[in-house]
Amino acid sequence: MARARVPRSGLRPAGPQREASEVLRLPGHEGRLPELLGLLVSANWLAASVLVAALLLASPGEATHEVDHRYLVLGYVRDGAGRPLPRLPVRVVREKTGLAYQAESDAEGFYLVVVHFHDEDLGDSLLVTAGPATIRVRASFEPRDAKTHRGTRIDFSGGRAWERREDFVWTLRENLKQ
């Protein structure tokens, strides 16, 4: 199927060239065409700018800076001998939505994954994977508390994973100091 060629401007040729005043006649506004066209372009530019700003500000990932809009999954990745495994990807998948979040362990094997969460996500299942090990955990937090960090600690070692929820706050504090 042959396609019509469209000039680089995206507009098709309109036939014989004519002056703008011939094409667009606005009774009572003769001689003001350049000014009116300038206002139209400015209005379109402003509308486009407002739309782009609204889309950028409405991005769901941007809300994770608030304590009550995130759930932190952190911990350590080590080999069977207890040595850190640096640069190992750690992936957290929200089973309800299928959204995946990923981080990489640092030189000490520490990782931190920030998951976008809301109060109504209490109890949601998360699949956390590092290397060959995967663990399913349920998000647990106090929905009325919008000041305390929400999350859990999951450690990986020797191909196994286990949750250490009781060590979450301490581990977060220790790693925020650095």
Q: List pLDDT tens digits, range 48-91.
A: 555 545 545 444 444 557 877 889 999 999 999 999 999 999 99
Based on the fold, state whether residues 51 and 128 are members of the same structural domain.
no
Domain membership of residue 43 as a residue range = 20-57
Q: List pLDDT tens digits, range 21-55.
A: 444 455 555 556 566 555 555 555 555 555 545 54
Based on the fold, state whether residues 29 and 69 are members of the same structural domain.
no
Q: How far is CA 142 from CA 92, 122, 151, in A?
A: 21, 8, 11
Based on the fold, state whether residues 106 and 46 are members of the same structural domain.
no
- In total, how many domains does the chain have? 2
Is residue 13 situated within a structural domain? no
CATH of the domain at 123: 2.60.40.1120
Under a CB-based contact definition with an 8 Å cutoff, are residues 78 and 85 in contact? Answer: yes
Whole-structure pTM value: 0.63
Amino acid sitting at position 67: V
Based on the fold, state whether residues 48 and 73 are members of the same structural domain.
no
